[in-house]
Each structure stands twice: as C-alpha cells, then as structure tokens.
Amino acid sequence: MTVLLETRGLVKSFGGFRALDGVSIKVADRERVALVGPNGAGKTTLVNLVTGLMRPTAGDVLFMGKSIAGRNPVELAGRGLARAFQLIEIFPQLTVAETIAAALVSRQGKRWRLFSSLSSDREIERRVAEVAQMFGLGGRLGSLAAALSQGEKKLLDVASAFALEPRLIVLDEPTSGVSTAEKHAVMQTLVAAAASAGIAGIVLVEHDMDLVASYADRIVALCEGQVIADLAPEPFFADPVIVETVVGRRRVR
C-alpha cells in the first residue's frame, strides 16, 4: 500500500488553545478519505496544516514520504497536492475558461496575460477545454463564473484544482450551498472526473453524512482536536456514539 499523505502527531496551538492535539492519519493510494466532526473539531485547522496555510506547533506532515510541514500552497501544488480554493469568490468576473486557465498557468509556470485570448497558447486552450468537459462545463467556457448555478460554481472551483494535475486533492465541503437535489450529481461528477484525471487520492471534508456514506472509503472523525474514529463506513455508521458526536449531539467521554 502506497501512503500518499500522512500526519504524525500534529499539534496546533493558538495561544493557550490547542486546536489539534496529536493527530495522526494516513491517506493511501486510490483512497477517498472523509474528514468529519462537529463544528470546532479541528477539521479546518488540519486541512490548513496539510495544505500549507499554517505551520504546525509540533508534529509533521508527509506527502509521498517527504516532509512538507510549513511548505506554501504553490510549492505543494507543484509537488502534486492541491486544494480547491474557491477562485470564483475571488474573481467572479472571470469566465469559466479564464478561471481554469489561471490554475493551468500557475501549474505550468508560464507567463500569460489573464485577459488575453486563450488562443495565444494552444496547449492551455486545449487543456482548459479538456478539464471543463470533465466537469460538464464544456458548453460554458465563455460564461462568467458569477453567472453559473451554485452547483456549477462548485464544479468550477474543483475543476480549477484538477487543472493543477494533482496526485492528491483536498476538497473542503465541495457541496456546501448546493441544493439537496444537486449534491449527489456534483459528487458523482467529482468522483468520475478524479478517475478520468488519474488522481490517486481524495481528502473530503463534508458535513453531509449521506454523502460521506456514499462516497468515502474510510472516515476519520475529529472531536476537540483529536481523532476519535478512523473506520470504514459500515462500522463507523454502526456506532451510534460516534455518529451522534460527529453531528454534535453527544460528547465522547
């Protein structure tokens, strides 16, 4: 089994508050791992440490066997670890094509004027169309990101991260704000696109337990900065104490 991502005894303190307290997890090749827990459990802190937005107080993060603790997100993307960053919230007036191209350019290290014609670089133009097609956005290349439906916006966020050609991708609540009817369609598209793109691993932060049950191979639950469960879906959902803790109704004693 090839381990893509590993955290070893991660600790993150903010003054006297310890947001993470000795968190150790692994994500293997061809594995979709869901990260769950009640609000304040430490999920966002863990994701920020893994993706280079924060440095750990103690412990280490390894990607493909090498320490990446404290490395910045741009460097990590170059190594093959990417995160969806909701670019459309930052640049809503870019088109679908321009949003995907912005990620491609950062990955390839090319100089390119963001608002110039994509036809000036045929390889970027080809890859933009290819990525958009994976996410069902092939017919929306000229549309402004702000004009997309909420489900399409979420797909575009993730498409931009896929354009970085990662080996492992971190999806932080990819269906938040999406209607219940659209959530499974979004997830099905993401899973199919990951398989098509050859992405080896996915870390999924998600509150919707129905989605977690349907799409995760393994579930890691956090509570008060510690791992309280690391299980396959069947035994995870068979334990009422863990499930109630995750949805915020009961504390583990």
| Residue ranges of domains in the chain, CATH in brackets | 1-72+168-173+200-253 (3.40.50.300), 81-165 (3.40.50.300)
Tokens of 107: 């990955």
Q: Considering the chain, what percentage of its residues have pLDDT values greater than 90?
A: 63
How far apart, in Å, do the first and last CA atoms of the chain sit?
A: 34
Q: What is the pLDDT of residues 86-97, one digit of tens each?
A: 666 767 889 999
Confidence of residue 23 (pLDDT cuts 50, 70, 90): very high
Q: What is the pLDDT of residues 159-193, one digit of tens each?
A: 988 888 899 999 988 888 888 888 999 999 999 99
pTM: 0.88
Q: Considering the chain, what percentage of its residues have pLDDT values greater than 70?
A: 90
Tell me the pLDDT of the chain averaged across its residues: 88
